Structure 1
Amino acid sequence: MIHGIGTDICDIRRIRASLERHGDRFAQKILSEGELAVWRRRSSRWPERGVRYLATRFSAKEAFSKAIGLGMRLPMHWRLCEIANRPSGEPMIVLHGGLKDWFDAQGLTAHITVTDESEYAASFCVVERWPPMHD
């Protein structure tokens, strides 16, 4: 049973401007430890890849927060939600701390997709309740 659906589109130029204004502090606010390591590797080789990576993660976390129905209020927190990749490259959501505890207690599972093109990053998230609750 579908619990919620979330989508987000992010202007990559806005993410680039935030990085220019706030430097690494902006990425550290948005990214988990694992994501920060990937962002630093990508940014050191090709800065634009780092910006796009950060934009897709920002967008995916926004879409996820909408799908779970919390927006950006606790237990939802940027750094407790990680967008990782399976060996196939498929994106997946890995939760940490209180957000993971809350999510698991609700019996939820999430599916996420991300894309970027030109000046935009977009994400779509479907959250299901499992097993389905019966009335």
Structure 2
Amino acid sequence: MKILGIGVDIIDNKRIKKSIKNNKFKNRIYSANELKLSSLSINKTSFFSKRFAAKEAFAKALGTGFRNSLNFKDIEVINDELGKPYYAKNRKITKLIQKNFNVKNFNCFLSISDEKDYSTAFTIIQTK
């Protein structure tokens, strides 16, 4: 297995707390599924901040940032039955990773965390 990309991001939670009051912002950044899942979260600021950081970290790991038609909504963060966050694979993300790194099979790893003032995310993309 070879590491193809690593990305990390940190976000000031106050910035997201202010931004999520605007529905246009939420609809531009978060997928329909993420918006639906947010209703289950007690701390909305934490929920949205961690996902924002995860999307930024993924774009950095990919090595392109938000270019070549990559949008925030293309990157979806969900949780497994134990609460572990992961990136939902979709056709667009799969094609971007395969093209950018010239690989067929890959894994994406995600770790997210937050404190009162900040949220952070760490991403690794590697070959299988």
What interval of TM-score do these two structures reach, taking the shorter chain for normalisation?
0.7 to 0.9
**Which residue number corresponds to residue 86 of structure 2?**
92
In structure 1, stretches of 5+ residues that fail to align are 131-135
The Cα of 1:38 is off from its aligned counterpart by 1.1
Query: What TM-score, normalized by structure 2, do the two folds share?
Result: 0.86
Q: Shift of residue 96 of structure 1? A: 2.7
3-state SS of 2:64 partner: coil
Higher helix share: 1
State the match for 1:115 in structure 2.
113
Cα deviation code 1:46-79 (max 9, x no counterpart): 4xx1121110000001001101111111242111
Query: Mind listing any 5+ residue stretches in structure 2 that lack a counterpart?
Result: none
| Gap change, CA 1:75 and 1:96, over 3 Å in 2 | farther
Report if the CA contact (8 A) 1:80-1:97 is conserved. no
Shift of 1:95: 3.1
Q: Larger Cα Rg: Structure 1 or Structure 2? A: 1
Alignment of 1:10-49 (within 5 A): 10-20=11-21, 23-42=22-41, 46=42, 49=43
Q: What is the TM-score with the length of structure 1 in the denominator?
A: 0.82
Counterpart position of 1:9: 10
Q: 2:12 & 2:66 partners in 1: Cα distance?
A: 19
Q: Deviations over 1:17-69 (max 9, x none)?
A: 2234xx11111111111101012343xxx4xx112111000000100110111
The 2-side partners of 1:115 and 1:109 are apart by 20
User: Deviation at 1:14?
Assistant: 0.6
Q: How many residue pairs were aligned?
A: 123
